[in-house]
Amino acid sequence: MSIPPALLEQAVRWRRQLHSCPELGYQEHQTSRMVAELLTSFGLQVHTGLAGTGVVGTLKNGDGPAIGLRADMDALPVTERGHCEHKSLHDGVMHACGHDGHTAILLATARHLGQQPHFNGTVHFVFQPAEENLGGARRMVEDGLFQHFPMESIYALHNWPGLPAGHVGVSEGAIMASLDSFEIELTGKSCHAAMPESGADPIVAASQLVLSLQTITSRCLSPQSSAVVSVTQIIGGEAINVIPEKVILRGTLRCLQADVRERVKTLIDQFVAQLPVVFGVRGEIRYFPGYPVTMNTPSAALAVSDVARALLGDDRVHWQVKPSMASEDFACMLEHCPGAYFWLGADGLAPSRPLHNAFYDFNDELLETGVQLWSALVARLLPISL
């Protein structure tokens, strides 16, 4: 499938413009405005305001069914350390996950399909804010995404370092893990560091608890269950000669099965309630529910695989790819609408920098393949009757 070179050149310019002007979740005002203005110039019906800065462009051609294609728009609170010409102009904010590329791919697809509408039906181009830990997908759903824009299915892609450029990874069922965060408060008794017997040390309790939580996945679950418990912050103490009153632990829990997710929460609760008591310390935990498991609909995942095989060849499609323990809030859309999420390989002649790395930059070689995949998927799902 040929994409006009002029459109690809424009897509590169869009992508690099977005990269140089990154915006955090729910603050994508400039990005949202740019997307809406471009979609309007393409002749699409444009709706703004879902989840604050979300944009939906609708392209209708015939009376066939409707589908959705989604791209995320937000950046990360990371200071860019690379030296590309389109380096971030905003201190402490950068597109370290490739959402600039996802947005450019979807914009170019909207332009291409508007010029060559070889499909019968409706395509909703969903530009989502706040994917990074802020639940923009859930908020779009709550704001009526699927009521205002009914669709048979919805799809999303993500560039994927570690997979060669021009390759696709997809699977039926779970492809990304659930995400929950937690905060544990350990309360002991403050005392002089030289006389620990006169107090109750929450730092020792915290140290034991951090290590013990790791036994949940190694000793309390079946090896066939997938879960990761990570303590990522330890906060406590003010003076070098004082055992503090409190210590705070924060971290995340990720799972690939809903029942495992609930089982691990129960086990963490037990550890927090019981282990600190040995040290005379009281433990309390608060959960902050995040994203469910990203669960692909089998028929939708198979459609992506079939389209990718026809376009790229069997050797470039990784079917039933091993799921990632990273998380994705597109899962919140898949809870309400059938669909699939897939990976588009990002490694060129040299391996891509990892996602969320301060030196990362989206590989512009992916733009053409992304537009081709979206266009071919639309043609497959919304065929023109002969």
Binding site, by residue number, is 97, 99, 132, 158, 356
Q: Which residue has the tokens 């079946």?
A: 222
Contacts 24+ apart (CB under 8 A), 364-367: 364/12, 364/15, 364/16, 364/101, 365/165, 366/101, 366/105, 366/159, 366/165, 367/8, 367/11, 367/12, 367/15, 367/101, 367/104, 367/105, 367/108
For the stretch 187-205, what's the b/e string if a residue is b when 16 or more beta carbons lie within 10 angstroms of its beta carbon? bbebbeeeeeeebbbbbbb
Q: How far apart are CA 250 and CA 296, in angstroms?
A: 30
- Reduced to 3 states (helix: H, G, I; strand: E, B; else coil), residue 97 is coil
Taking 3-state DSSP, the helix, strand and coil percentages for the chain, each rounded to the nearest 5, stand at 35, 30, 35
Q: How far apart are CA 139 and CA 51, in angstroms?
A: 5
- Reduced to 3 states (helix: H, G, I; strand: E, B; else coil), residue 90 is coil
Cα–Cα nearest to 374, from 139, 107, 178: 107
- Reduced to 3 states (helix: H, G, I; strand: E, B; else coil), residue 189 is strand
The set of residues, in sequence order, having a beta carbon less than 8 Å from that of 298 and lying 6+ positions away, is 172, 173
Q: Which residue has the tokens 């010029």?
A: 115
- Reduced to 3 states (helix: H, G, I; strand: E, B; else coil), residue 178 is coil
Q: How far apart are CA 115 and CA 134, in angstroms?
A: 35
At 5, list the tokens: 């070179």
Cα–Cα nearest to 116, from 377, 307, 309, 379: 379
Q: How far apart are CA 322 and CA 305, in angstroms?
A: 15
| Partners of residue 319 on adjacent β-strands | 170
List the binding residues for Mn(2+).
97, 99, 132, 158, 356
Q: How many CB atoms within 10 Å of residue 278? A: 10
